[in-house]
Amino acid sequence: MKPDLYRPLKHLPKEQWPADDRLRFELARQPRDIFDEAAAPCSNWSEGTWRRVETPYRRWLGFLALKHPADLLLHAEDRITPERVKGFVEHLAEVVRDTTIVVNLEGLLMAARLLAPSEDFGWLAALKNRLAAKARPMERLSKLKMPWETLALGQSLMDGAMKAPTRDHLLNEIEYRDGLVLALLSLWPIRRRSMAALSVGRHIVRRGDTLTINLFGADTKTGRSDSFVVPAKLSPYMVHYLDVMRPRLLGSRRNDALWVSHRGRELTAGAIYLIIRRHTLQHFGTSMSMHDFRRAAATSLAIEAPDKIGLATGVLQHANPDTTGRHYNLAGSAQASRRFREAVGP
């Protein structure tokens, strides 16, 4: 395998974008006056929505920089042509699944309409819809581990860290932290941005033996607040992390983030994501993403209590119940039933 230095460019960093593209994006992100009748529909987009647009657009510009660098001298609307998009789709098809191609085209379409609102990109919308109709999502059920399985993994990591002899570089504290992340996510499968946003002073309430974690609207994708009472089984682990392990990780630093690195800095959403993938791969032989924990939560409800599958909408913070039903309701799946029987035994 070639060193990373020689790998083909995938995403064009924003600082390397054509100046006109950067300017148009920056103008679109500016807050609009409530009396401005021409306010763009994107003026109230969340950070998550902007990422859905900017990431595919970086990929699009990376493709042009690699295959058609002269196109970067053109205006955005003059580059987005059926011929170039066809080449983009073929380029993506070499390395990603059909569903990922659709995500990239959807982001490119949103970016095109943002950058050139007077242009007609109906052909691009039609192409995206045709590909979406043909695309089949990757079968992930075989990769899922049920919440009780990932909870047990988290507890075993924490128990092992407490029993292990002292090691250098705060390895026990890191293992304990990782176990608590896994255990908490098993019972409360929030999104990675919400998990990374948690802080001790603002989000955690301690009243006697009861620990409550509050999420505010600004911390969630849907803008809806949420509250989680830490179960009695997990509460002692959480208290031990707050009182013993986290202060050791912080050292001399002062940081209010719940999840901190061995250097005392707050863990990013990306770092938490990698922690989850690493431990699930090591223990189960297959990695789980943080979104897989959300799938597993709804799947376990569908298996154990199919008449209560609607509860998953609240657990997963879905604004629309149809999202839960469309993506997670596996109650009628023979494969799901078979996996459940294998899990509980004869």
Percent of the chain surpassing pLDDT 70 = 78
pLDDT surpassing 70 at residue 5: no
Per residue in 49-107, pLDDT tens? 888 899 999 999 999 999 999 999 999 999 999 999 999 999 999 888 888 899 999 99
Domain ranges of the chain: 4-134, 142-286
- Rounded to an integer, the average pLDDT of 227-256 is 93
pLDDT surpassing 70 at residue 346: no
Nearest Cα to Cα of residue 256 among 304, 220, 203: 203
Burial 60-88 (b: 16+ CB within 10 A, else e): bbbbbbeeeeebbeeebeebbeeebbeeb
pLDDT surpassing 60 at residue 165: yes
- Rounded to an integer, the average pLDDT of 27-47 is 67
Per residue in 252-265, pLDDT tens? 999 999 999 999 99
Q: Quick check: 53 and 111 in contact, CB under 8 A?
A: yes
pLDDT for residue 41? 59
Q: How far is CA 173 from the centre of its chain?
A: 25
- pTM given for the model: 0.60
Q: Quick check: 323 and 295 in contact, CB under 8 A?
A: no
> Which among 35-39, 203-207, 224-228, 338-342 has the top mean pLDDT?
203-207
- Rounded to an integer, the average pLDDT of 269-275 is 93
Return the CATH superfamily for domain 142-286: Intergrase catalytic core (1.10.443.10)
Q: Which residue has the higher pLDDT, 280 or 328?
A: 280
